[in-house]
Amino acid sequence: MQDLTDKELMLKYQQGDTAVMNELLRRYKNPVYHFVLRLSQDAAFAQDIAQEVFVRIHTHRAYYKPCGKFSTWLFSIAHNLCISHLRKKKWHVLWPRSKEDPDKLVEFESSELSPKDVAENNDFSAVLKRCIQGLPFLQKEALILREYQNLDYGEISKILKKSLGAVKTLIHRARLNLKQKLLPHFKEIAGGYDE
């Protein structure tokens, strides 16, 4: 079964071959889980959504059309479930927004850093993760789909239900915002080396 494409597997699944679901799970359970985890930073939530994605694939298998990529359909389901659950749970409390600009996160600053915070500040991947989490939700989602899931702009456009131009703009702005958020960390690392 490993030599079959995703489309072929899904078509077999539509025809009643339930054994192919194991191969689809093998291929996509980790990418879906990590996609949701990067968006939410909540492992339990990511696990629940990842399971729900595959339940939806099972219950909606009759609606799958092989005209597009299976991964696009799969990540569309994950995207829709995330948005739906985030709305229900009102996670905007965890991602507070500015009243003047709803796309801008409110940033909280502490005057004291815990030892753990100091150690994390020295770890680039932790800094990068925090900076990505600080991006507006749609920018973060588009960037994660592009950079971590390696989807092309067309697939991201279908998943987010945005035009190709809007997706390119989202990713461009995400990269610019990320650069601005990372710049102070690089200046801190390079401190004292003015050339």
Print pLDDT tens along the chain (195 aa): 789 999 999 999 999 999 999 999 999 999 999 999 998 888 999 999 999 999 999 999 998 888 889 999 999 999 999 988 877 765 444 444 455 555 554 444 444 555 665 555 557 777 888 899 999 999 999 999 999 999 999 999 999 999 999 999 999 999 999 999 988 877 765 554 554
Tokens of 76: 């569309």
Tokens of 39: 């968006």
Helix (H, G, I), strand (E, B) or coil at 130: helix
List the domain boundaries for the chain. 6-92, 96-190
Q: How far apart are CA 53 and CA 76, in angstroms?
A: 10
Rounded to 5°, the CA angle 150-155-156 comes to 75
pTM of the model: 0.70
Q: Which CATH class is domain 96-190?
A: mainly alpha
Q: Which CATH class is domain 6-92?
A: mainly alpha
